[in-house]
Amino acid sequence: MSGRHHHSYRRCRSPGWTGAVRGANIAAPNAPVDEAVIAELRNQIDDEDGAAIAHLIEDYLEESAESVHELRLAVTVNDIFQVLKLTHSWKSTSVIFGATQLAALLGQAEGAAIRAPDELAALTAQIEHEHERVAASLRRLRHRIRPEQGADR
């Protein structure tokens, strides 16, 4: 992930950030993003006005879009090392943003890169589809948090 913001969301990690927010609704089983995770992250970085989390979401959206392209290319040219690097990093950041289903697919691709590379093309298609769901969900959430930034970019 080589976005121009260079992983600014990573500096916000802290132990215990993954805990659920008290009183928050548990994510629907097929929800692309667990909003309780975002709420806890926002709480951990003490972001009352939503500006920081909106910026972090935007960074994630930009970098994950690059990752989709880079993963597709790495799978096409059978660059297993690049697949491992991308899936591992993207999986971690997806967990930070509550995209657990996407993270699970990335974990499957990470394992397949070593054990069953012939499965990577199918997994990449699933990852692309789930990424679209996550991106749409995060854009809507960002707009609810900071409407002046627009619903889509």
- The candidate with the shortest Cα–Cα distance to 109, out of 135, 131, 91, 133, is 91
What pLDDT does 63 receive?
A: 97
Answer whether 9's CB lies under 8 Å from 110's CB: no
Q: Where are the domains of the chain?
A: 33-149
Name all contacts of 149-153 with Cβ < 8 Å and 24+ positions apart.
149/54, 149/58, 153/58, 153/61
pLDDT score recorded for residue 125 = 98
pLDDT tens track for 35-67: 999 999 999 999 999 999 999 999 999 999 999
The secondary structure of residue 23, as a DSSP letter, is T
